[in-house]
């Protein structure tokens, strides 16, 4: 895949996903493209919630299926101590891209790296010993990341590309979370109601955050987009709802079933 094809594939994918009413991660679409982008044999969606429960979905789905039980046990019990990348994130708390080869020695010394290579050879697969992680969430809400593995370390150019893709994926993660929150608050009829007036999933999420009292700046931070992008979404929301301001937009949305009615919604709208 050359640069033009790669960029086009990512633009098409992100445009399609942002337009969909997603409430769960589209792992089967994002991870395969990541794997192809970096010429890797496998990747994984890793999601650890605050309780410590881990959802790990590899691609291809059958990758080292014969060792799946041991892989899951190792991830659950040993990885926080033995995986160089997990050691890095637990030690620093930084939600930045990182590859195994660049983890500082003070966090993963020679012995840790040797044990990691041995584990790959015995359980995870030697063809994925070089891994790069693109975290999309790291903090009290849990640790969510997309990880790509291959034999060779990633070049500086590939790491720069991973950084650009990470920013896109963080925005997608926040869009999914915001849309899921909106769908949960408003009920199963909200999605068809939004479609009836032409609201996109991103616009529905912006509307919900607006109703919760968010300013344009706060909404932009929540969705990991520019403030001017939020302003554009708000103008589209006003136009589609036939209103001229924030308060009227929320009231109209409540009447249409796009937001919980006032008696069920304790949020306040800032004007």
| Domain at 246, CATH number | 1.10.10.10
- pLDDT tens, position by position, 184-230: 888 878 889 999 999 999 999 999 999 989 999 999 999 988 999 99
CA dist., res. 3 & res. 133, Å (int): 21
Residues 159, 240: one domain? no
Is pLDDT above 60 for 264?
no
pTM of the predicted structure, to 2 decimals = 0.84
CB atoms within 10 A of CB 33: 19
pLDDT at 62: 85
pLDDT at 5: 87
**Is residue 139 assigned to a domain?**
yes
From 145, 168, 184, give the residue that closes a domain: 184
pLDDT band at 34 (very low <50, low <70, confident <90, very high): very high
| Domain at 15, CATH number | 3.30.450.40
CA dist., res. 102 & res. 265, Å (int): 48
Residues 229, 138: one domain? no
pLDDT at 145: 98
CB atoms within 10 A of CB 180: 15
Q: What letter would DSSP give residue 182?
A: H
**Is residue 113 assigned to a domain?**
yes
Q: Which domain holds residue 40?
A: 3-184
From 184, 202, 227, give the residue that closes a domain: 184
pLDDT at 263: 61
Domains identified in the chain, total number:
2
CA dist., res. 4 & res. 25, Å (int): 26
- What size, in residues, is the chain? 271
| 33 neighbors 43 (Cβ within 8 angstroms) | no
Residues 28, 65: one domain? yes
C-alpha distance from residue 93 to each of 31, 34, 90, 188, 256 (Å): 23, 24, 6, 37, 42
pLDDT band at 271 (very low <50, low <70, confident <90, very high): very low
Residues 134, 171: one domain? yes
CA dist., res. 251 & res. 243, Å (int): 10
Q: What is the mean pLDDT of residues 117-132?
A: 90
**Is residue 269 assigned to a domain?**
no
From 184, 215, 233, give the residue that closes a domain: 184
């Amino acid at each position: 895949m050359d640069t033009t094809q790669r960029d086009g594939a990512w633009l098409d994918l992100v445009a399609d996903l942002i337009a969909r009413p997603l409430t769960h991660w589209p792992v089967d679409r994002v991870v395969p493209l990541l794997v192809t982008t970096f010429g890797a044999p496998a990747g994984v969606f890793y999601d650890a919630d605050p309780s410590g429960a881990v959802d790990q979905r590899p691609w291809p789905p059958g990758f080292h299926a014969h060792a799946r039980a041991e892989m899951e046990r190792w991830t659950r019990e040993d990885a926080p101590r033995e995986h160089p990348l997990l050691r890095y994130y637990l030690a620093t708390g930084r939600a930045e891209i990182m590859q195994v080869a660049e983890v500082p020695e003070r966090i993963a010394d020679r012995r840790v790296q040797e044990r990691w290579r041995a584990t790959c050879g015995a359980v995870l697969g030697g063809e994925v010993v070089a891994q790069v992680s693109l975290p999309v969430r790291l903090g009290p809400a849990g640790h969510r990341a997309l990880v790509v593995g291959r034999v060779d370390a990633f070049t500086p150019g590939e790491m720069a590309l991973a950084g650009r893709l990470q920013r896109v994926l963080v925005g997608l993660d926040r869009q999914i979370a915001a849309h899921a929150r909106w769908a949960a608050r408003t009920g199963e009829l909200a999605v068809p109601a939004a479609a009836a007036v032409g609201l996109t999933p991103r616009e529905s999420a912006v509307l919900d955050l607006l109703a919760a009292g968010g300013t344009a700046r706060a909404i932009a931070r929540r969705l990991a987009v520019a403030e001017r992008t939020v302003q554009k979404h708000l103008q589209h929301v006003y136009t589609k709802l036939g209103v001229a301001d924030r308060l009227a937009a929320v009231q109209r949305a409540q009447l249409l079933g796009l937001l919980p009615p006032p008696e069920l919604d304790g949020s306040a709208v800032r004007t």
